[in-house]
Amino acid sequence: MVKKLIIKSTTFGSFILHYSITLLIIFGLISSSKVEAKTRHLKWEVKYEFKSPDCYKKLVMTVNGMSPGPTIMAEKGDMIVVEVTNGLLTENLAIHWHGIRQIGTPWADGSEGVTQCPIVPGDTFVYLFAVDQPGTFMYHAHYGMQREAGLNGMIHVSHPKGQPEPFTYDFDHSILLTDWWHKSTYEAATGLSSLPFVFVGEPQSLLIQGRGQFNCSLVNSPSDPDICNATRPDCSPFVLTVVPGKTYRLRIGSLTALSALSFAIEGHNMTVVETDGHYVESFDVQNLFIYSGETYSVLVKANQDPSRNYWATTNVVSRKPKTPTGLAIFNYSPNPPLQTPPTIPTSGPAWNDSVPRMAQSQAIRARKGFIEPPPATSDKLIMLLNAQNNNSGHIYWSVNNMSFTLPTTPYLVALKEGKLRGELGRIFDHGAPPDGYDWVNYDIYNPPVYPSVTFSNAIYRLKFDTTIDIVLQNANSLTKNNSETHPWHLHGHDFWVLGYGNGKFDPFKDPSKYNLVDPILKNTVPVHPFGWTAIRFKANNPGVWLFHCHIESHFYMGMGIVFEEGVEFVGKLPSSIMGCGETKGLINP
């Protein structure tokens, strides 16, 4: 019930009152409205450990010794308190709660440089936030390129007990998909900044729930003969054991650093019922396409020949795959869990056929009975050209030819703290980033004619409570006949997905094709090769919010922007988010 309370309170009048209150009052609201609401108190230590997720031994960034980290299990309306201790030796840290809107707690979003200073080694930082929507969410490191070092996990927020969901199932399981390199994230990042540019290459493995199987015969390391060992139990395939006849809800999330994926369970249909915390008008797929930052719930019925096991597979799409199929076992009880299925695992749909991927995107609509209609019109349109750039040998990604850089002082503190407000121009670039690009003349089907780029940490300051339309426009990269899929993730909001198209978006014609009837709400959406994607959101969550390509290297190379809205309604900032850049002197212990 908290969700409705909060939504009601977003009418402007009561808003000021609502958001200037402290978290204690949020607690109060929850406990008064819903006696079952709980506070879930978690203590996490993050450190490096040697692990062999795909049989190859490597340092992995773990939470309490695990990667993926523990799944946060909660019920709608709960407060989550995560005490994160940085047990790394010399590296800082920040953790983002992906899909949690952080209403009333914008400082808990975990975006280093945007909402907080990084957590230094030895420090403990407390993330405190409400999970106000049921659904499937995730968490991951949000600092440098640490996400691909293994700090990731899932958040299951269940419906309040006694309130039935619009579909039924017998069991509920998580499957987190990631891609995995044998080189460190530091090597990956340094290569991206090097001259000449050094690409770390395609991932060595795809991991299903943290497990993959690299072909150790490709490794020859006389100095460390045990570096790859296919007999290690931690790289035996992930097994999902099912009872014949039962129905399973699989909560599938992707936190790949680079790869767009297809996912299939041999011989079984999957019925898509939820994405990013919102119910989908259900439809069946054999292959689920999933992009980094997305979650899907699918229902799978164990209705096949129970005398054998089946492959669950994941494959790269949208980039020419050099990574073997990721494998897990869909195990019919009581067959032995690791009994190899008698078939050859599929290599998935054609990597370069974007038609079925576009079709899946367009098939996703809000479920009848759960439609939250969007505002009929918007107050502002921002068109974002997705481009790749080349500046004297360095490669960048940009939107509207602006490549994003993070400031050393988090925007949220810079904007809120009176002492800093006179110095904003010193903390980040003045002025507004461009709302569009030369859409009439720009040729999206060829590499950019002018590949040079501007660097900026300027932000979009949105008028509070207005409705914003964003059109993501894809284009050719620096390579001829190439356009990459970019999954864009918005912090602090869900947005309505109004439409997808091929080619260049025409702001005069294409809005007429928008789906204003039953658009799905999501927090992450792909823009397909040479295509466009249109989304709408209400700028009604006071705070400062990243919107960025969820491919880790693309964001590192500048593919992101930042929105500010209603920062004047943000409550007193906890000083725990301060301590870096210009915020050093602001902490009052």
CB of 573 to its own copies, least distance (A): 14
Establish if 465 lies at the interface with its own copies (CB under 8 A): no
Q: Which is nearer to its own copies, 187 or 506 (CB)?
A: 187
The answer to the question of residue 455 lying near its own copies (CB under 8 A) is: no
C-beta closer to its own copies: residue 185 or 524: 185
| Residue with token string 């992930």 | 238
Residues of this chain, 221-260, that bind its own copies according to CB under 8 A: 221-223
Name the residue nearer to its own copies (CB basis): 482 or 575: 575
Looking up tokens 């059109």 gives: 471
Give yes or no for residue 502 binding its own copies (CB under 8 A). no
Question: Does 126 help bind its own copies (rule: CB under 8 A)?
Answer: no
Q: How far is the CB of 139 from its own copies (least distance, A)?
A: 17
Nearer to its own copies, 494 or 552 (CB): 552
284-323 burial, b if ≥16 CB within 10 A, otherwise e? ebebbbbbbbbbbbbbbbbebeeebbbbbbbbbbbbebeb
Distance CA 150, CA 199 (A): 19
Task: Let me know if 170 is exposed, middle or buried by CB neighbors in 10 A (0-12, 13-18, 19+).
Answer: middle
Distances (CA, A) of 509 to 374, 376, 505, 512, 536: 19, 16, 8, 6, 17
In this chain, which stretch among 168-176, 186-194, 508-516, 560-568 interacts with its own copies, using CB under 8 A?
186-194
Segment lying near its own copies (by CB under 8 A), choices 31-39, 144-152, 241-249, 358-366: 144-152
- C-alpha separations of 364 from 117, 168, 368, 452, 477 in Å: 37, 19, 12, 37, 28
Structure tokens at 383: 């068109």
Token pair for 523: 């927090």
CA–CA gap between residue 275 and residue 263 (Å, rounded): 15
Least distance between its own copies and beta carbon 532 (Å): 32
End-to-end Cα distance, the chain: 35
Q: What number of other Cβ atoms are within 10 A of residue 13's Cβ? A: 8
CB of 406 to its own copies, least distance (A): 9
Nearer to its own copies, 369 or 589 (CB): 589
Q: Give the nearer residue to its own copies in terms of CB position, either 94 or 385.
A: 94
70 binds its own copies (CB under 8 A): no
Identity of the residue numbered 316 = V
Which range touches its own copies (CB under 8 A), out of 141-149, 325-333, 368-376, 426-434?
A: 141-149
| 417 lies in the binding site for its own copies (CB under 8 A) | no
Q: Distance between CA atoms of 305 and 282, rounded to whole angstroms?
A: 25
User: Measured from the CB atom, is 349 or 574 closer to its own copies?
Assistant: 574
Closer residue to its own copies (CB): 160 or 581: 581
Q: Would you tell me which residues interact with its own copies (CB under 8 A)?
A: 48-50, 59, 89-93, 117-118, 120-123, 143-146, 182, 184, 186-187, 189-191, 194, 198, 201, 204, 218, 220-223, 408, 419, 575, 578-582, 584-585, 587-589
